[in-house]
Structure 1
Amino acid sequence: MKRMISLVLALMAAALLTPSLAAEPAAAQSKPAGARIEMGVGHFNRDGKAFHYWDKAAEIPAGCARCHAAQGVPEYLANGKNAPAKQVKNAYACTNCHADMLSYERHKVSKLTFASGLEVDAGLNDANLCMTCHQGRESTASVNKAIAGKALDTPDPALAFIHVHYFPAGATLFGTQAKVAYEFAGKTYDGRYKHPKQLDNCLACHDPHSGQAKVEKCDSCHTDKGDRIADYRSELKQSMDSLYAGIQQYAIKVGGVPLAYSSKASPYWYTDSNGNGVVDDDELKPTNSYKAYTPRLLQAVFNYTFLLRDPGAAFHNRSYAGQIVHDSLESLAASGQSGVNMKGRTRP
């Protein structure tokens, strides 16, 4: 009898200490399989500039708040614009993407508007939500506005670098349907690049929290044998290297001032005072920003930076990426001042 009583008491204690699955909210039980948060990367990079650039400031400017404020995305989706936002040190909030933190339901986004003013619908809510931010902030239209009425090869101190901004993957994906990369007049460009249906959305290829590519998904189609994707990346890099060399030579011959790029700080393109081809530490300062742009140079620099800002361009839309770099090279070659030779180059 004593043994029976002890067993009953032990079972009662275990029942009290062990949470019941039946007592859990239904939404909590339906948490997506594999969903996880890794601090220090992507949207949760506590040390990254993207969400902490304004830690010492009173607020985040309205133009930046959509994608950098703790609650910027839902405000933009509700109002179509943002007001200046208070900077908080816990940075990007989960509720920027999730409308409900029990069910993990995402905000509803029926369509998105690119910086060009063009609207698209990716056909999937989550993809529209991702591209609400991952689309760039400048476009063909803003470059054309800056160079309107100016002689193509005449330096103009009123011209300044136009920065597309970081990770414009959605703009690459949709190509000419977005018109964010600079498209040259008289040329035709590819539109949306479509992957196989099961992989034709942002979250099929990227972790939503870290942004990291799900490489194992790529392996299902892109194998080591006969795979062309590595070649596409290599070809694009070679074309970009040629474009950078052409930009530098054109800047010297037409602008009379050497130009070099540095990823370390805005405005990224600096006067190469000593002409050694790189931005040295003493040249890396806002007052040394490049000031001898011509319209042709601005077009080329915009596209080169666009491709740098989307490191996955060869995957997102390789033909469109190839077209804009090819046309930028062709434009520089037409000046006769860049050293670019188009012989043997084929437009994608």
Structure 2
Amino acid sequence: MKTKFIFHILLMTAIVFLASCVKEGPIGLTGEDGLDGQDGQDGQDGNVTCLACHSGTTISARQFQYASSIHKAGTNVAYAGGRAGCAQCHSSEGFIEFQANGLVASDISMPSAINCETCHIIHTAFTYTDFALRSEEPVGLIIDQGVTVLDIGDGSNLCINCHQARTAEPQTASVAGATTFRITNTHYGPHHGPQANIFAGQGFAEITGPVTYPVAGSSKHLEQASCTVCHMDDYIDKQGGHTFKPSLAACQECHATENFDYGGVQFDTEEKLTELRDLLISLGVVAWYEVDQAYEPVPGTYPMVRAQAYYNWIGIEEDRSLGVHNPQYVNALLTNTIAALKATK
């Protein structure tokens, strides 16, 4: 009897198990659709985001202007852009590394010319802030290891990272009380872009003479203008904008002039530069070098004032503004230097 009961239990379990393995029946009729959910907000059009910068009035216009700039030409990249000691200003990669780390650690194998990304932080936020300058911090002067700090503001601080003297004037570079200075090579000088020093009115050899030197930082152009105000005004007649060529229209906002020689400053500066150069030639400090097609110093040891005179001459020449950056300072430098040289003849 007990065995029969167990058999019935097992039989019923098997029937239930087999019934559960039967394939499902046909799908029933489809029910009605439920109510639609609320629409989400449309995403931003990808093309619109790009066109905030990549349009004829923004980046394309700037690229057109930049095509005629010296920075774009990259004339010094081939020989200087890869050297660790020069790359911070002569290649895009070097400038970016210097801004990030304060130095260029080693030579750069494939340097490229200054470009948009050199000066601007690009494609990080993917908004208009991608136009942000890589740095706007005040800049220490190289000639005194950063003791003197310049803060021109309005984006111009970025420029003076490179557009400043690299070598101090002879007296400053010598031991106290030195009366002579040795020029060791034909490329001696403050370097090829001492604009910030002229602009700020400091760093050149301030030889005593008949003209009083203006107080450093007192130039009207430093107070009321800047690198960007004069060189990046609205693009007109192939000047200003991202050509970085000085804008006559910017000058005319303050001066009634039809050219850059306002008040005869450039003419007077050029006359004095020629006079000073000829004095240096007559004293054997400067000579014409055919190989470089340029007037350069004759290596040798000179009385301090003559070495200083050469420094002032080549520095003002390579400022390339013919006095416009700081008329009073340049006039004082040239007038006093010429007078001092004449006194030594």
Q: TM-score scaled to structure 1, two decimals?
A: 0.68
> Are residues 157 and 145 of structure 1, via their aligned partners in 2, closer, same or farther at CA, if it must alter by over 3 Å?
closer
Corresponding position of 1:233: 266
Q: How many pairs does the alignment contain?
A: 279
Matched position secondary structure for 1:293? strand
Contact 1:111 1:121 in 2 (8 A): yes
Corresponding position of 1:111: 138
Contact 1:159 1:293 in 2 (8 A): no
2:291 pairs with 1:269:
no
Structure 2 stretches lacking a partner, 5+ long: 1-43, 233-240
Corresponding position of 1:343: none
> Are residues 264 and 220 of structure 1, via their aligned partners in 2, closer, same or farther at CA, if it must alter by over 3 Å?
farther
Structure 1 stretches lacking a partner, 5+ long: 1-20, 252-257, 271-288, 338-348
2:39 pairs with 1:39:
no
> Are residues 75 and 225 of structure 1, via their aligned partners in 2, closer, same or farther at CA, if it must alter by over 3 Å?
closer
Distance 1:309 1:226 in 2: 20
> Are residues 95 and 30 of structure 1, via their aligned partners in 2, closer, same or farther at CA, if it must alter by over 3 Å?
closer
Post-superposition shift, 1:263? 9.5
Corresponding position of 2:342: 333
> Are residues 166 and 217 of structure 1, via their aligned partners in 2, closer, same or farther at CA, if it must alter by over 3 Å?
same
Corresponding position of 1:165: 191
Q: Deviations over 1:246-305 (max 9, x none)?
A: 212233xxxxxx7324597399525xxxxxxxxxxxxxxxxxx43353322211111000
Post-superposition shift, 1:120? 2.7
Matched position secondary structure for 2:309? helix
Corresponding position of 1:135: 164
Matched position secondary structure for 1:167? coil
Which structure 2 residues correspond to residues 1-348 of structure 1 after superposition, within 5 A?
22-24=45-47, 26=49, 28-29=51-52, 33=58, 35-37=62-64, 38-39=66-67, 41-46=69-74, 48=75, 50-54=76-80, 60-88=82-110, 90-101=112-123, 102=126, 103-117=130-144, 118-140=147-169, 143-146=171-174, 149-152=177-180, 160=185, 162-176=188-202, 179=203, 181-184=204-207, 188-192=213-217, 193-195=219-221, 200-207=225-232, 209-224=242-257, 229-251=262-284, 259-261=286-288, 265=292, 268-269=295-296, 289-335=298-344, 337=345
Q: Deviations over 1:122-170 (max 9, x none)?
A: 3425110011011121123x55324755445xxx767556321122211
Post-superposition shift, 1:325? 1.1
> Are residues 205 and 234 of structure 1, via their aligned partners in 2, closer, same or farther at CA, if it must alter by over 3 Å?
same
Distance 2:324 2:269 in 1: 11
Q: Could you tell me which amino acid in structure 2 is paired with residue 243 of structure 1?
A: L
Contact 1:111 1:128 in 2 (8 A): yes
Post-superposition shift, 1:106? 0.7
Distance 1:331 1:196 in 2: 28
CA RMSD in angstroms, aligned pairs only: 3.4
Post-superposition shift, 1:217? 1.7
Q: Could you tell me which amino acid in structure 2 is paired with residue 88 of structure 1?
A: M
Post-superposition shift, 1:206? 1.1
Matched position secondary structure for 1:116? helix
Post-superposition shift, 1:29? 0.9
